[in-house]
Amino acid sequence: MTRKLTVSTKWLEMAAIKLEIDAQDSLHTWIVLGQTHRYCEDLGKAAMLRKAAGIKSIAERREFLRINGVTA
């Protein structure tokens, strides 16, 4: 059985980590530009990916991601 990479638990967890690192790296720039809300948005996306990774059923995980705007 082949699963799409974007719904695997490991991929979702790694994507969340990368998103948090990128957000942290960009925080100073966003502060200078007055766009700190983007930092919060990225942390929210990372939390959503982690929550999706915790869903055991692949079908439910895909549905959760679709509801939250991620094509899976």
In this structure, which long-range contacts are made by residues 63-70, counting pairs with CB atoms below 8 Å and at least 24 apart in sequence?
A: 65/6, 65/7, 70/6
Which pLDDT score, from 0 to 100, does residue 6 have? 72
The yes-or-no verdict on residue 3 having pLDDT over 60 is no
Rounded to an integer, the average pLDDT of 55-63 is: 94
Query: Given this model, what pLDDT does residue 5 score?
Result: 58
In a domain, residue 20? The reply is yes
Range of the domain at 40: 9-62
Q: What distance in Å separates the CA atoms of residue 62 and residue 40, rounded to the nearest whole number?
A: 24
- Do the domain assignments include residue 70? no
Is 13 part of any domain?
Answer: yes
Domain tally, the chain:
1
Specify the pLDDT at position 2: 46
